[in-house]
Amino acid sequence: MTERDDLLAHVPRGPVPSSQAGARLLDLVRVMARLRGPDGCPWDREQTHASLARHLLEETHEVLEAIDADDRERLREELGDVLLQVAFHAQLAADDGAWDVDDVAQAIIEKLIRRHPHVFGDVQVEGADEVLVNWERIKAEEKGEKPLEDDIPATLPALARASKVQRRAAGWGFEWRSVGSAIEALKEEVGELESHTDAHNAEEEIGDVLFATVAVARKLGVDPETALRRTIRGFAERYDRFRALLQERRLDLEALTDEQVRALFREARS
């Protein structure tokens, strides 16, 4: 048995479950090699991992926009752009003699199998949240004891970073045991904020409230970044309707009381 056969022992044999058996992925690798070849594209040939970094970031945000808009056709297109970035970086490394796209795939296959013992082994799990907790526990076993924030990118959006930090802590055994416990902790932090609204303490207390909110979201299976993006989008749409009502009724926003503003904003909900 080859190393590959041993690695994929628990993966079903047979045709690749895609419309063209993965052939177009191989074609993408060929196209990328041609673009980077001696008689390829001047722009593609002069790119580096660093110069491509911004493109990967932009394409990732465009994927998120397509997901938020529930636009499946656009999502297909944007995922293609992200896939191009993966193939591009792999070809750059291959040109340097470092590694290639097969090495990239090999590494992630091995990681997926190691960190899904409930699929490729005999571990039992009760739900999706336990899968994520196990992932962090197995990762810690692989890499040894390290600081909690080790290798979590500092550039991650704060809510996403908080969620990942909390998930890792849960993998190491520290988490609220129930939704109720997480909500009680959030209430405590809100109470602290109500008592410390001065400039010296407000930032820290608001940070505690946000962090506790992320903990509640995690226990409820909600991604806080997605939830906040949806709320922002909903607020913007509702505000535009609110502004239209002001113009339609020739109201001066500055002249309205807080209660009148709230009432009009509630009306703009529909």
Provide the mean pLDDT of the chain: 90
Q: Mean pLDDT: which of 85-89, 159-163, 222-226 is highest?
A: 85-89
In one-letter notation, the amino acid at residue 240 is D
Question: In CATH, what is the architecture of 3-114?
Answer: Orthogonal Bundle (1.10)
At 130 the pLDDT is: 81
Q: Residues with Cβ < 8 Å from 64, sequence gap 6 or more? A: 229
pLDDT tens profile 166-185: 988 888 888 888 999 999 99
Calpha distance 200→198 (Å, rounded): 5
Angle made by CA atoms 162, 168, 172, in degrees to the nearest 5: 140
pLDDT of 142 above 90? no
pLDDT of residue 265: 92
Q: Which residues contact 57 (CB under 8 A, 6 or more apart)?
A: none
- For residues 164 and 229, give the distance between their C-alpha atoms in angstroms, rounded to a whole number: 18
Q: Which of 77-91, 134-148, 246-260 has the lowest mean pLDDT?
A: 134-148
149-155 average pLDDT score: 85
Residues above pLDDT 70, as percent of the chain: 97
pLDDT for the residue 187: 96
Per residue in 4-22, pLDDT (tens digit) is 666 777 777 788 888 998 9
Kindly calculate the radius of gyration of the chain based on its CA atoms and give it in whole angstroms: 25
Buried/exposed 110-130: b ≥16 CB within 10 Å, e otherwise: eeebebbeeebeeeeeeeebe
**Per-residue pLDDT, 127:** 80
pLDDT of res. 199: 81
Q: How confident is the model at residue 1 (pLDDT cuts 50, 70, 90)?
A: low
Q: Say if residues 166 and 142 touch (Cβ distance below 8 Å).
A: no
End-to-end CA distance of the chain: 64
CATH 1.10.287.1080 fits 128-224, yes or no: yes
Res 118 pLDDT > 80: yes
213-261 pLDDT, tens digit each = 999 999 998 999 999 999 999 999 999 999 999 999 999 999 999 999 9
d(CA 180, CA 270): 32
pTM more than 0.75: no
Res 3 pLDDT > 70? no
CA 148 to chain centre: 19
Q: What is the DSSP letter of 13?
A: P
